[in-house]
Amino acid sequence: MLNIGLLGLGTVGTGIVQILEERKKYLEKLIKQEISISKILVKDIDKKRDIEIDKEKLTTDIYEIIEDDNIDIIIEVLGGLDNPYYYIKEALNKGKDVITANKAVVAKHLEELTNLAKAKNKSFLYEASVGGGIPIIKPLKEQVNINQIQEIRGILNGTSNYILTKMISENLDFQEALETSQRLGYAEANPTDDIEGYDTRRKLRILSTIAFKDKIDEEDISCYGINSINFSDIKNIKSMSCTVKLLGTAIVNDNKYYASVEPVIVSQNSYFSKVDDANNLVSFIGDNVGELRFFGEGAGRFPTANAVLSDLIDITSNTYQRNCFLENSELDNINELYRGKYYMRINVKEDTKDKIEKYIVDNEIIEDMIEKKDSIAFTTKLISKKKLEKLIDIFMIDSKNYFVARLEV
Protein backbone atom coordinates (compact mmCIF):
# COMPACT_ATOMS: atom_id res chain seq x y z
CA MET A 1 0.00 0.00 0.00
CA LEU A 2 1.33 3.43 -1.01
CA ASN A 3 0.05 5.97 1.53
CA ILE A 4 0.08 9.63 0.57
CA GLY A 5 -0.15 12.70 2.73
CA LEU A 6 -1.57 15.59 0.70
CA LEU A 7 -0.88 19.12 1.92
CA GLY A 8 -3.51 21.36 0.39
CA LEU A 9 -6.90 20.82 -1.23
CA GLY A 10 -7.18 23.90 -3.39
CA THR A 11 -7.16 23.97 -7.17
CA VAL A 12 -4.16 21.66 -7.67
CA GLY A 13 -4.89 19.43 -4.67
CA THR A 14 -8.40 18.85 -5.97
CA GLY A 15 -7.00 17.99 -9.38
CA ILE A 16 -4.67 15.42 -7.83
CA VAL A 17 -7.56 13.75 -6.01
CA GLN A 18 -9.68 13.70 -9.16
CA ILE A 19 -6.97 12.22 -11.39
CA LEU A 20 -6.10 9.59 -8.79
CA GLU A 21 -9.75 8.58 -8.54
CA GLU A 22 -10.20 8.39 -12.31
CA ARG A 23 -6.92 6.58 -13.02
CA LYS A 24 -6.72 4.55 -9.81
CA LYS A 25 -6.88 1.06 -11.31
CA TYR A 26 -4.41 1.83 -14.06
CA LEU A 27 -1.93 3.55 -11.74
CA GLU A 28 -2.09 0.77 -9.18
CA LYS A 29 -1.40 -1.75 -11.92
CA LEU A 30 1.49 0.39 -13.13
CA ILE A 31 3.21 0.76 -9.75
CA LYS A 32 2.12 -2.71 -8.58
CA GLN A 33 0.59 -1.55 -5.29
CA GLU A 34 -2.56 0.07 -3.97
CA ILE A 35 -2.68 3.85 -3.67
CA SER A 36 -4.37 5.68 -0.81
CA ILE A 37 -4.52 9.34 0.15
CA SER A 38 -4.40 8.78 3.89
CA LYS A 39 -4.61 12.36 5.15
CA ILE A 40 -5.16 15.81 3.66
CA LEU A 41 -4.08 19.03 5.33
CA VAL A 42 -6.70 21.78 5.00
CA LYS A 43 -7.47 25.07 6.71
CA ASP A 44 -11.17 24.35 7.19
CA ILE A 45 -12.53 20.81 7.44
CA ASP A 46 -16.14 21.94 6.97
CA LYS A 47 -15.56 24.05 3.86
CA LYS A 48 -17.77 23.21 0.88
CA ARG A 49 -15.64 21.70 -1.89
CA ASP A 50 -15.93 20.77 -5.56
CA ILE A 51 -15.38 17.09 -4.81
CA GLU A 52 -16.77 14.62 -2.34
CA ILE A 53 -14.16 13.72 0.24
CA ASP A 54 -14.26 11.63 3.40
CA LYS A 55 -13.98 14.17 6.23
CA GLU A 56 -12.14 11.56 8.30
CA LYS A 57 -9.21 12.08 5.94
CA LEU A 58 -9.11 15.85 6.54
CA THR A 59 -6.98 17.45 9.21
CA THR A 60 -5.82 20.90 10.22
CA ASP A 61 -2.85 19.45 12.11
CA ILE A 62 0.29 18.98 10.02
CA TYR A 63 1.77 16.63 12.61
CA GLU A 64 -1.02 14.10 12.02
CA ILE A 65 0.62 13.65 8.63
CA ILE A 66 4.32 14.18 9.29
CA GLU A 67 4.36 11.98 12.39
CA ASP A 68 2.40 9.16 10.74
CA ASP A 69 4.92 6.40 10.02
CA ASN A 70 2.49 4.75 7.60
CA ILE A 71 2.59 7.71 5.22
CA ASP A 72 5.28 7.20 2.58
CA ILE A 73 5.05 10.27 0.36
CA ILE A 74 4.15 13.89 1.06
CA ILE A 75 2.67 15.98 -1.75
CA GLU A 76 2.77 19.71 -0.99
CA VAL A 77 0.48 22.01 -3.00
CA LEU A 78 -0.31 24.67 -0.42
CA GLY A 79 1.39 27.70 -1.94
CA GLY A 80 3.20 30.28 0.15
CA LEU A 81 6.73 30.06 1.45
CA ASP A 82 7.52 29.70 5.15
CA ASN A 83 5.06 27.02 6.28
CA PRO A 84 5.48 24.81 3.19
CA TYR A 85 9.26 25.03 3.51
CA TYR A 86 9.07 23.90 7.14
CA TYR A 87 6.66 21.06 6.29
CA ILE A 88 8.84 19.81 3.43
CA LYS A 89 11.97 19.92 5.56
CA GLU A 90 10.27 18.10 8.44
CA ALA A 91 8.88 15.46 6.09
CA LEU A 92 12.33 14.75 4.62
CA ASN A 93 13.81 14.57 8.11
CA LYS A 94 11.11 12.02 9.00
CA GLY A 95 12.24 9.84 6.10
CA LYS A 96 9.41 10.61 3.68
CA ASP A 97 9.67 11.27 -0.06
CA VAL A 98 8.42 14.72 -1.03
CA ILE A 99 6.81 16.15 -4.15
CA THR A 100 5.99 19.85 -4.43
CA ALA A 101 4.49 22.24 -6.97
CA ASN A 102 5.73 25.22 -4.92
CA LYS A 103 8.06 27.33 -7.06
CA ALA A 104 8.65 29.86 -4.27
CA VAL A 105 9.99 27.18 -1.91
CA VAL A 106 12.01 25.44 -4.62
CA ALA A 107 13.55 28.71 -5.84
CA LYS A 108 14.57 29.80 -2.35
CA HIS A 109 15.66 26.47 -0.88
CA LEU A 110 16.57 24.26 -3.85
CA GLU A 111 20.10 23.35 -2.79
CA GLU A 112 19.28 22.84 0.88
CA LEU A 113 16.31 20.56 0.25
CA THR A 114 18.09 18.65 -2.51
CA ASN A 115 21.04 17.98 -0.22
CA LEU A 116 18.76 17.00 2.66
CA ALA A 117 16.90 14.52 0.46
CA LYS A 118 20.21 13.06 -0.67
CA ALA A 119 21.43 12.74 2.92
CA LYS A 120 18.21 10.96 3.91
CA ASN A 121 18.24 8.82 0.74
CA LYS A 122 14.83 10.18 -0.15
CA SER A 123 13.27 11.94 -3.13
CA PHE A 124 12.61 15.65 -3.50
CA LEU A 125 10.87 16.24 -6.83
CA TYR A 126 9.31 19.43 -8.18
CA GLU A 127 8.38 19.01 -11.85
CA ALA A 128 5.20 21.07 -11.35
CA SER A 129 7.13 24.08 -10.03
CA VAL A 130 8.11 25.16 -13.55
CA GLY A 131 5.86 25.11 -16.59
CA GLY A 132 2.74 23.61 -15.04
CA GLY A 133 2.00 20.49 -17.07
CA ILE A 134 5.05 20.82 -19.34
CA PRO A 135 7.64 18.13 -18.61
CA ILE A 136 10.83 20.21 -18.53
CA ILE A 137 12.76 19.53 -15.32
CA LYS A 138 13.11 15.78 -15.79
CA PRO A 139 14.31 16.05 -19.42
CA LEU A 140 16.71 18.82 -18.43
CA LYS A 141 18.19 16.72 -15.60
CA GLU A 142 18.65 13.84 -18.05
CA GLN A 143 20.29 15.97 -20.72
CA VAL A 144 22.85 17.62 -18.41
CA ASN A 145 24.44 14.19 -18.06
CA ILE A 146 25.53 14.16 -21.71
CA ASN A 147 25.38 17.84 -22.71
CA GLN A 148 26.85 21.14 -21.76
CA ILE A 149 23.70 23.27 -21.66
CA GLN A 150 24.49 26.56 -23.35
CA GLU A 151 21.20 28.42 -23.17
CA ILE A 152 17.73 28.36 -21.65
CA ARG A 153 14.92 30.58 -22.89
CA GLY A 154 11.27 30.58 -22.13
CA ILE A 155 7.85 32.09 -21.79
CA LEU A 156 7.42 30.92 -18.23
CA ASN A 157 4.43 32.90 -16.97
CA GLY A 158 1.00 32.34 -18.46
CA THR A 159 -0.57 35.45 -16.95
CA SER A 160 1.87 37.90 -18.50
CA ASN A 161 1.69 36.05 -21.82
CA TYR A 162 -2.10 36.23 -21.78
CA ILE A 163 -2.01 39.98 -21.10
CA LEU A 164 0.48 40.65 -23.91
CA THR A 165 -1.48 38.41 -26.31
CA LYS A 166 -4.69 40.37 -25.64
CA MET A 167 -2.92 43.72 -26.01
CA ILE A 168 -1.48 42.70 -29.38
CA SER A 169 -4.48 40.84 -30.81
CA GLU A 170 -7.30 43.07 -29.52
CA ASN A 171 -5.51 46.43 -29.26
CA LEU A 172 -6.20 46.68 -25.53
CA ASP A 173 -4.32 48.86 -23.11
CA PHE A 174 -2.52 47.20 -20.23
CA GLN A 175 -5.20 47.78 -17.59
CA GLU A 176 -7.97 46.39 -19.82
CA ALA A 177 -5.95 43.26 -20.58
CA LEU A 178 -5.05 42.80 -16.91
CA GLU A 179 -8.68 43.12 -15.80
CA THR A 180 -9.72 40.57 -18.44
CA SER A 181 -7.01 38.24 -17.18
CA GLN A 182 -8.21 38.64 -13.59
CA ARG A 183 -11.84 38.10 -14.56
CA LEU A 184 -10.95 34.81 -16.26
CA GLY A 185 -8.84 33.64 -13.33
CA TYR A 186 -5.43 33.86 -15.01
CA ALA A 187 -4.23 36.74 -12.82
CA GLU A 188 -4.50 37.04 -9.06
CA ALA A 189 -6.15 40.01 -7.35
CA ASN A 190 -2.57 41.10 -6.62
CA PRO A 191 -0.76 40.33 -9.91
CA THR A 192 2.63 41.75 -8.88
CA ASP A 193 4.64 38.52 -9.12
CA ASP A 194 3.36 37.88 -12.64
CA ILE A 195 3.50 41.31 -14.25
CA GLU A 196 6.77 42.43 -12.64
CA GLY A 197 8.54 39.22 -13.67
CA TYR A 198 9.22 37.73 -10.24
CA ASP A 199 7.39 34.48 -11.00
CA THR A 200 9.41 34.03 -14.20
CA ARG A 201 12.62 34.83 -12.32
CA ARG A 202 11.97 32.06 -9.77
CA LYS A 203 11.42 29.53 -12.54
CA LEU A 204 14.49 30.65 -14.47
CA ARG A 205 16.56 30.38 -11.30
CA ILE A 206 15.49 26.73 -10.93
CA LEU A 207 16.11 25.81 -14.57
CA SER A 208 19.44 27.62 -14.91
CA THR A 209 20.79 26.14 -11.68
CA ILE A 210 20.06 22.64 -12.97
CA ALA A 211 21.31 23.42 -16.48
CA PHE A 212 24.55 25.14 -15.55
CA LYS A 213 25.30 22.94 -12.52
CA ASP A 214 25.93 26.00 -10.38
CA LYS A 215 23.84 27.99 -7.96
CA ILE A 216 22.15 30.80 -9.88
CA ASP A 217 20.38 32.95 -7.30
CA GLU A 218 17.35 35.08 -8.02
CA GLU A 219 19.53 38.10 -7.27
CA ASP A 220 21.81 37.05 -10.15
CA ILE A 221 18.94 37.45 -12.64
CA SER A 222 18.12 40.95 -13.83
CA CYS A 223 14.36 41.44 -13.77
CA TYR A 224 12.11 43.91 -15.57
CA GLY A 225 8.40 43.29 -16.02
CA ILE A 226 5.57 44.41 -18.28
CA ASN A 227 3.62 46.65 -15.91
CA SER A 228 4.61 49.87 -17.70
CA ILE A 229 3.78 48.81 -21.26
CA ASN A 230 0.99 50.84 -22.85
CA PHE A 231 -1.08 51.03 -26.02
CA SER A 232 1.42 53.28 -27.81
CA ASP A 233 4.12 50.64 -27.28
CA ILE A 234 1.85 48.00 -28.79
CA LYS A 235 1.19 50.26 -31.79
CA ASN A 236 4.92 50.86 -32.27
CA ILE A 237 5.78 47.17 -31.91
CA LYS A 238 3.12 46.16 -34.43
CA SER A 239 4.45 48.78 -36.86
CA MET A 240 7.72 46.81 -36.83
CA SER A 241 5.75 43.65 -37.81
CA CYS A 242 6.72 42.22 -34.44
CA THR A 243 5.19 41.12 -31.17
CA VAL A 244 6.37 41.25 -27.56
CA LYS A 245 6.84 38.51 -24.97
CA LEU A 246 8.12 38.37 -21.40
CA LEU A 247 11.10 36.01 -21.70
CA GLY A 248 13.42 34.43 -19.20
CA THR A 249 16.87 33.95 -20.72
CA ALA A 250 20.04 32.37 -19.33
CA ILE A 251 23.18 31.95 -21.45
CA VAL A 252 26.52 30.49 -20.39
CA ASN A 253 29.83 30.69 -22.24
CA ASP A 254 33.43 30.27 -21.10
CA ASN A 255 32.50 30.15 -17.37
CA LYS A 256 30.48 33.36 -17.66
CA TYR A 257 26.72 33.68 -17.72
CA TYR A 258 24.01 36.21 -18.43
CA ALA A 259 20.53 35.80 -16.95
CA SER A 260 17.53 38.07 -17.37
CA VAL A 261 13.77 38.36 -17.26
CA GLU A 262 12.54 41.13 -19.53
CA PRO A 263 10.10 42.01 -22.32
CA VAL A 264 11.56 41.01 -25.67
CA ILE A 265 10.34 42.19 -29.07
CA VAL A 266 10.44 39.26 -31.49
CA SER A 267 9.66 38.95 -35.18
CA GLN A 268 6.58 37.17 -36.43
CA ASN A 269 8.89 34.37 -37.61
CA SER A 270 10.09 33.60 -34.08
CA TYR A 271 8.56 30.48 -32.55
CA PHE A 272 7.95 32.52 -29.40
CA SER A 273 5.60 34.80 -31.36
CA LYS A 274 3.29 31.80 -31.96
CA VAL A 275 2.83 31.13 -28.21
CA ASP A 276 -0.43 32.83 -27.28
CA ASP A 277 -2.75 33.22 -24.31
CA ALA A 278 -1.69 31.45 -21.09
CA ASN A 279 0.58 28.90 -22.77
CA ASN A 280 4.25 28.46 -21.97
CA LEU A 281 7.22 27.49 -24.10
CA VAL A 282 10.65 26.52 -22.79
CA SER A 283 13.70 25.73 -24.88
CA PHE A 284 17.23 24.74 -24.05
CA ILE A 285 20.32 24.16 -26.18
CA GLY A 286 22.85 21.41 -25.49
CA ASP A 287 26.16 21.01 -27.27
CA ASN A 288 25.22 17.50 -28.41
CA VAL A 289 21.44 17.45 -28.61
CA GLY A 290 20.98 20.92 -30.10
CA GLU A 291 17.78 22.81 -29.27
CA LEU A 292 14.84 21.13 -27.58
CA ARG A 293 11.51 22.92 -27.15
CA PHE A 294 8.70 22.16 -24.71
CA PHE A 295 5.25 23.70 -25.17
CA GLY A 296 2.07 23.42 -23.16
CA GLU A 297 -0.22 24.86 -20.52
CA GLY A 298 1.82 26.56 -17.84
CA ALA A 299 -0.76 26.37 -15.07
CA GLY A 300 -4.20 25.08 -14.20
CA ARG A 301 -5.75 22.34 -12.11
CA PHE A 302 -5.14 19.32 -14.29
CA PRO A 303 -1.86 20.24 -16.05
CA THR A 304 -0.18 20.97 -12.70
CA ALA A 305 -1.72 17.93 -11.00
CA ASN A 306 -0.51 15.85 -13.95
CA ALA A 307 3.08 17.00 -13.34
CA VAL A 308 2.80 16.17 -9.64
CA LEU A 309 1.56 12.67 -10.39
CA SER A 310 4.33 12.17 -12.95
CA ASP A 311 6.75 12.72 -10.06
CA LEU A 312 4.78 10.20 -8.02
CA ILE A 313 5.21 7.57 -10.72
CA ASP A 314 8.93 8.35 -10.99
CA ILE A 315 9.39 7.82 -7.25
CA THR A 316 7.45 4.56 -7.12
CA SER A 317 9.19 3.21 -10.22
CA ASN A 318 12.59 4.65 -9.30
CA THR A 319 12.98 6.36 -12.69
CA TYR A 320 14.18 9.82 -11.68
CA GLN A 321 17.65 11.34 -11.76
CA ARG A 322 19.55 11.14 -8.49
CA ASN A 323 22.58 13.07 -9.71
CA CYS A 324 23.74 16.03 -7.65
CA PHE A 325 23.63 18.95 -10.08
CA LEU A 326 25.88 21.44 -8.24
CA GLU A 327 29.25 20.60 -9.78
CA ASN A 328 30.50 24.04 -10.81
CA SER A 329 31.43 26.93 -8.57
CA GLU A 330 33.29 29.16 -10.97
CA LEU A 331 30.62 30.82 -13.11
CA ASP A 332 30.83 34.62 -13.19
CA ASN A 333 27.77 36.80 -13.73
CA ILE A 334 28.23 39.28 -16.59
CA ASN A 335 24.79 40.91 -16.67
CA GLU A 336 26.33 44.36 -16.46
CA LEU A 337 28.56 43.67 -19.49
CA TYR A 338 25.78 42.28 -21.70
CA ARG A 339 25.06 44.35 -24.82
CA GLY A 340 21.90 44.35 -26.86
CA LYS A 341 19.59 46.49 -28.96
CA TYR A 342 16.52 47.93 -27.25
CA TYR A 343 13.22 49.65 -27.86
CA MET A 344 12.47 52.48 -25.39
CA ARG A 345 9.46 54.74 -24.93
CA ILE A 346 9.55 57.70 -22.53
CA ASN A 347 6.65 59.93 -21.56
CA VAL A 348 8.31 63.34 -21.57
CA LYS A 349 7.52 66.77 -20.24
CA GLU A 350 7.85 69.65 -22.71
CA ASP A 351 10.77 71.18 -20.81
CA THR A 352 12.84 67.97 -20.91
CA LYS A 353 11.95 66.60 -24.34
CA ASP A 354 14.72 68.39 -26.25
CA LYS A 355 17.27 67.59 -23.54
CA ILE A 356 16.50 63.86 -23.64
CA GLU A 357 16.64 63.81 -27.45
CA LYS A 358 20.01 65.57 -27.37
CA TYR A 359 21.31 63.17 -24.70
CA ILE A 360 20.46 60.00 -26.64
CA VAL A 361 22.12 61.43 -29.76
CA ASP A 362 25.24 62.76 -28.02
CA ASN A 363 25.78 59.51 -26.12
CA GLU A 364 25.37 57.36 -29.23
CA ILE A 365 22.31 55.54 -27.87
CA ILE A 366 19.73 56.07 -30.57
CA GLU A 367 19.56 54.20 -33.85
CA ASP A 368 16.07 55.13 -35.10
CA MET A 369 13.42 57.52 -33.82
CA ILE A 370 9.91 56.02 -33.93
CA GLU A 371 7.72 58.63 -32.24
CA LYS A 372 8.16 62.28 -31.21
CA LYS A 373 4.79 63.48 -29.90
CA ASP A 374 3.49 63.18 -26.33
CA SER A 375 6.25 60.66 -25.79
CA ILE A 376 9.46 59.78 -27.55
CA ALA A 377 10.07 56.23 -28.70
CA PHE A 378 13.24 54.96 -30.30
CA THR A 379 15.40 51.95 -30.94
CA THR A 380 18.99 51.83 -29.78
CA LYS A 381 22.31 50.80 -31.20
CA LEU A 382 24.09 47.81 -29.70
CA ILE A 383 24.62 49.07 -26.14
CA SER A 384 24.82 48.04 -22.52
CA LYS A 385 21.49 48.37 -20.74
CA LYS A 386 23.38 50.42 -18.15
CA LYS A 387 23.32 53.28 -20.66
CA LEU A 388 19.52 53.30 -20.53
CA GLU A 389 19.53 53.01 -16.75
CA LYS A 390 21.86 56.04 -16.59
CA LEU A 391 19.47 57.99 -18.83
CA ILE A 392 16.60 57.15 -16.48
CA ASP A 393 18.62 58.26 -13.44
CA ILE A 394 19.88 61.53 -14.94
CA PHE A 395 16.41 62.70 -15.97
CA MET A 396 14.72 61.13 -12.90
CA ILE A 397 12.14 59.33 -15.03
CA ASP A 398 9.54 57.52 -12.94
CA SER A 399 9.11 53.80 -13.66
CA LYS A 400 5.52 54.39 -14.78
CA ASN A 401 6.69 56.79 -17.47
CA TYR A 402 8.95 54.56 -19.56
CA PHE A 403 9.04 51.11 -21.10
CA VAL A 404 12.05 49.14 -22.31
CA ALA A 405 12.16 45.92 -24.31
CA ARG A 406 15.10 44.10 -25.84
CA LEU A 407 15.00 43.67 -29.62
CA GLU A 408 15.40 40.27 -31.27
CA VAL A 409 14.48 41.06 -34.86
Percentage of residues in the chain having pLDDT higher than 70: 98
- Name the pLDDT band for 240 (thresholds 50, 70, 90): very high
Write b or e for each residue in 181-214: b if 16 or more Cβ atoms lie within 10 A of its Cβ, otherwise e.
bbeeebbeeebebbbbbbbbbbbbbbbbbbbbbb
Provide the pLDDT for residue 358: 96
Residue range(s) of every CATH 3.30.360.10 domain in the chain: 137-297+326-333
**C-alpha–C-alpha distance, residues 86 and 66, integer Å:** 11
User: What's the average model confidence in pLDDT over 129-157?
Assistant: 95
Looking at domain 2-125, its CATH architecture is: 3-Layer(aba) Sandwich (3.40)
- What CA–CA distance (Å, rounded) separates 114 from 258? 24
Residue 400: pLDDT over 80: yes
Whether 245 shows a pLDDT value over 80: the answer reads: yes
Q: Express each pLDDT in 170-205 by its tens digit.
A: 999 999 999 999 998 888 899 999 999 999 999 999
pLDDT in tens, 308-338: 999 999 999 988 877 666 666 689 999 998 9
For residue 323, what pLDDT is reported? 62
| pLDDT score, position 21 | 94
Average pLDDT, the chain: 95
The catalytically annotated residue of 122, 203, 213, 385 is 203
For position 329, what pLDDT does the model report?
67
Q: In the CATH scheme, what is the homologous superfamily, with its name and number, of domain 137-297+326-333?
A: Dihydrodipicolinate Reductase; domain 2 (3.30.360.10)
CA 206 to CA 176: how far, in whole Å?
32
Count how many Cα atoms sit within 13 Å of the Cα of residue 15 in the half-sphere of its side chain: 20
Helix (H) or strand (E) holding 37, with range, is strand 35-41
Mean pLDDT along residues 152-171: 97
**Percent of all residues in the chain with a pLDDT value above 90, rounded to a whole number:** 90
Q: CA end-to-end span of the chain, whole Å?
A: 56
pTM above 0.85, yes or no: yes
Q: Note if 245 is an active site residue.
A: no
Numbered ranges of CATH 3.30.70.790 in the chain: 338-408
pLDDT for the residue numbered 351: 84
CATH 3.30.70.790 fits 338-408, yes or no: yes
Is residue 363's pLDDT more than 90?
Answer: yes
The residue-averaged pLDDT of 45-58 equals: 92
